[in-house]
């Protein structure tokens, strides 16, 4: 049987789906769990295995589009279906663009849901066969790469990221040179080695920088293709450019090179609590330090006022949320601690050059 997670903030809507006779043996699907919002759903998806996620679009905390993106990005469920009111269809179509399997109107009709589940079942079986084939090919490639993989050079690059060295070009160069020397005559092996390196790099960075997923799409880096290039760059060039882009993004967010440095402790607190109300007074209390001393040390060490840093981080988070969710601007502003939506919009435009709505529209178009 295929296990379904049903997500909707309205109990009556969940009941309308559950009362369909499709879940009592008529199909190979059962509703294994329910959630009232996207956050509850994510918690369940991280704890258990589901084959199909059926989610409403408009929900508090984390809406359906953001839930879907998080699910697809982190491989939490192989198939996502959106439930949509008629006025949500533009967002439903956006969901398809970002990886949803399909969408249904609310409340879903028996025939529509039955047809959908039949197609989902075929999709899941096909996806399973493809994954088994890819796993087999990947294992064979891994075997061919085997002990020849330049683990030491990759570990050096990861350590350079963690300590945020001023210049990591030499570390990138050593890893690229080692891969080229080992597999340069085989573009498939070379591309696989670079993809393996990027995947491990992202995995280790997420562990070291727990705030990273709030600002950066790690899956975009993991899915980069180093086998098929545009003819203008080698696989080494493409890998090096992606690594430098990621490195500069991290350095932009976090100051300091050691966790015991005050500026680094401040940055970590701000980054890990970006979705709350933040103030210099609040940070000073958490770190048991004088407010003025805290601000002065941060300015001296970074060259940036602490209040400006907090605002910059919140605007970067806002940009990520605008791309990942359908929540209205005032909802995102409230999540980030801004009760005055107009003030929030002015801050956003000052930092990003466009209004929140313009930023969201441009991200949809691209």
Tens-digit pLDDT profile for residues 239-257: 999 999 999 999 899 998 7
Q: Are residue 9 and residue 126 in the same domain, yes or no? A: yes
Residue 140 belongs to some domain of the structure? no
Peptide bond connecting 112 to the previous residue in cis, omega within 30 degrees of 0: no
d(CA 226, CA 116): 36
Q: Where a domain ends, among 232, 253, 274?
A: 253
Residues 153 and 184 in one domain: yes
Residue holding tokens 């409403």? 56
**Would you list the DSSP string of 302-340?**
HSS-HHHHHHHHHHHHHHHHHHH----HHHHHHHTT-S-
323 φ/ψ angles, rounded to the nearest 5 degrees: -80, -30
What is the per-residue pLDDT for 189? 82
Instruction: Examine residue 268 and state whether it is found in any structural domain, yes or no.
Output: yes
Q: Is residue 143 one of the residues assigned to a domain?
A: no
Give every CB contact of residue 360 below 8 A, 6+ residues apart in sequence: 322, 323
Per-residue confidence (pLDDT) for residue 176, from 0 to 100: 94
Q: Evaluate whether residue 306 is within a structural domain.
A: yes
Token pair in block for residue 340: 């005055």
Q: Are 247 and 334 part of one and the same domain?
A: no
269 and 244 together in one domain: no
110 membership: H or E segment, kind and range: helix 110-145
Neighbours of 287 (CB within 10 A): 13
Element (H, E) at 134: helix 110-145
Q: Which residue has the higher pLDDT, 246 or 325?
A: 246
pLDDT score of 88 more than 80: no
pLDDT in tens, 21-40: 899 888 999 999 999 988 89
- CA atoms of 300 and 281, how far apart (whole Å): 18
* CATH number of the domain residue 286 falls in: 1.10.10.60
Q: Looking at the structure, do residues 281 and 173 belong to the same domain, yes or no?
A: no
Q: Please check whether residues 122 and 6 belong to one and the same domain.
A: yes
Q: For the purposes of burial, counting CB atoms within 10 Å of the CB of 364, is it exposed (0-12), middle (13-18) or buried (19 or more)?
A: middle
**For residue 46, pLDDT beyond 60:** yes
Could you give the angle at the alpha carbon of 77 between the alpha carbons of 76 and 83, nearest 5°? Answer: 120
What pLDDT is recorded for position 140?
A: 63
Pairing of strands 102-105, 2-7: unpaired
- Do 170 and 222 lie in one domain? The reply is yes
Q: Tokens 């919002």 — which residue?
A: 37
Question: Could you tell me if residue 46 is inside a domain?
Answer: yes
Q: Which of 93, 97, 88, 104 is nearest to 328 (CA)?
A: 88
Percent pLDDT > 90 in the chain is 56
Give yes or no: residues 9 and 118 share one domain.
yes
Nearest-CA neighbor of 71 among 1, 5, 138, 2? Answer: 5
On whether residue 171 sits in a domain, the answer given is yes
Domain enclosing residue 92, as ranges: 2-133
End-of-domain residue from the set 104, 133, 162: 133
Q: Which residue, among 338, 332, 329, 324, has the nearest Cα to 357 in the 3D structure?
A: 329
Query: How many domains are contained in the chain?
Result: 3
Is 139 within a domain? no
Residue 92 has a pLDDT of 67
CA 133 – CA 130 distance, rounded (Å): 5
Question: 47: domain CATH number?
Answer: 3.40.50.2300
Same domain, 52 and 110: yes
Q: How confident is the model at residue 231 (pLDDT cuts 50, 70, 90)?
A: low
Tell me: do 158 and 191 sit in the same domain: yes
pTM for this model (two decimals) = 0.70
**Residue 283, helix vs strand vs coil:** helix
- Residues 11 and 65 reside in one and the same domain: yes
Which run of H or E residues covers position 102? strand 102-105
> Nearest Cα to 29, choosing from 133, 150, 123, 147?
123
* Residue 243 shares a structural domain with residue 163: yes
Q: Which pLDDT value is given to residue 79?
A: 93
User: Of 236, 253, 270, which closes a domain?
Assistant: 253
Element (H or E) spanning 132, and its range? Answer: helix 110-145
Q: Would 184 be classed as within a structural domain?
A: yes
């Amino acid at each position: 049987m295929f296990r379904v997670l049903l997500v909707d903030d309205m109990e009556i809507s969940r009941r309308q789906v559950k009362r369909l006779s499709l879940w009592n043996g008529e199909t190979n699907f059962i509703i294994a769990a329910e959630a009232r919002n996207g956050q509850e759903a994510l918690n369940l998806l991280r704890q258990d295995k589901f084959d199909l996620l059926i989610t409403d679009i408009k929900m508090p905390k984390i809406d359906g589009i953001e839930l879907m993106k998080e699910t697809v990005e982190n491989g939490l469920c192989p198939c996502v279906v959106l439930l949509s009111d008629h006025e949500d269809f533009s967002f439903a179509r956006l969901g398809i663009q970002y990886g949803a399997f399909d969408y249904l109107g609310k409340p879903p009709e028996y025939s529509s849901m039955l047809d959908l589940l039949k197609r989902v079942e075929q999709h899941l079986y096909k996806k399973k066969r493809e994954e088994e084939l890819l796993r087999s090919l990947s294992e064979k490639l891994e075997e061919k790469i085997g002990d020849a993989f330049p683990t030491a050079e990759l570990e050096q690059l990861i350590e350079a990221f963690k300590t945020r060295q001023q210049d990591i070009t030499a570390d990138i160069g050593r890893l690229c040179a080692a891969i080229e020397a080992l597999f340069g005559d085989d573009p498939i092996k070379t591309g696989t080695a670079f993809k393996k390196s990027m995947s491990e790099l992202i995995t280790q960075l997420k562990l070291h920088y727990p705030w990273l997923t709030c600002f950066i799409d790690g899956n975009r880096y993991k899915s980069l293709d180093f086998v098929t290039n545009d003819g203008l760059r080698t696989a080494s060039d493409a890998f090096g450019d992606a690594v430098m882009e990621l490195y500069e993004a991290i350095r932009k967010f976090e100051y300091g090179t050691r966790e015991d440095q005050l500026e680094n402790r401040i940055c970590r607190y701000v980054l890990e609590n970006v979705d709350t109300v933040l103030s210099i007074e609040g940070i000073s209390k958490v770190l048991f330090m004088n407010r003025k001393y805290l601000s002065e040390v941060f300015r001296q060490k970074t060259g940036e006022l602490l209040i400006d840093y907090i605002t910059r981080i919140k605007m970067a988070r806002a940009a990520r949320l605008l791309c990942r969710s359908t929540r209205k601007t005032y909802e995102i502003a409230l999540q980030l601690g801004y009760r005055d939506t107009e003030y929030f919009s002015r801050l956003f435009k000052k930092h990003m050059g466009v209004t929140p709505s313009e930023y969201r529209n441009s991200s949809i178009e691209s």
